[in-house]
Structure 1
Amino acid sequence: MNVTRYDQAPQYFPENHFDIRCVRLQGHEAGPAQSLWIGVSTIEPGGHTTMSASALEKHYVVLAGELTVQTEEGEVVLRANDSCRLAPNEGRALKNRSSAPVSVLLAMPFA
């Protein structure tokens, strides 16, 4: 078993993320994992990512707050316990348009 305490989770710094704190809970520098890694991002009010895509699918689960997810097809607002899956190479931008932080769980396979 590998336990990662949230307050000790290693922080990482993805490009094109603004006013967002990202930590890894499992996988990569947070410990062993075979198929996927899990992280949590805290997005401050006004925080956002630029529109970008990766070759890997992504799964987001909103833990608290309200997150706007924009794709080429439009945008959707996710609230606590809502989730979305982004396909490989599907562009996305994340935005916190609210006045409170939003907390988002991210699960991704390894490259």
Structure 2
Amino acid sequence: EPIDKVLQAIDHIDPSSKNYIEVLVSVDGPEPSLNYKIEQALENKQVRLTRILRKSTIISGSGEQRIINYDEFKKISPIEMAKEAFLKKYGSEMPTDIESLLKEAIEQTEI
């Protein structure tokens, strides 16, 4: 599991070193406790965590896989995510009437 590898690497940090670190983790899905686990592992280390980057695999419309980081993932529109999920599940493009209803629902919930 990726988080186990990260935690093992953190264990090998010299406790007396005073470094800044950036953690890059490749995840296959949501990992809600990732930040907590990393912060707990760093608790007694003399390091400062600058950021935690997550890389996730997504499927593009052409069927190709590509790796994006978590910040890029957050920028993908809900419509595009829904269209990708529909394509993956049903093997065809999302019908325009469903897309229109989804867009309407999203517009009504946006603040």
Instruction: State TM-score, norm by structure 2.
Output: 0.24
Pick the structure with greater CA Rg.
2
Which protein is richer in helix relative to its size?
A: 2
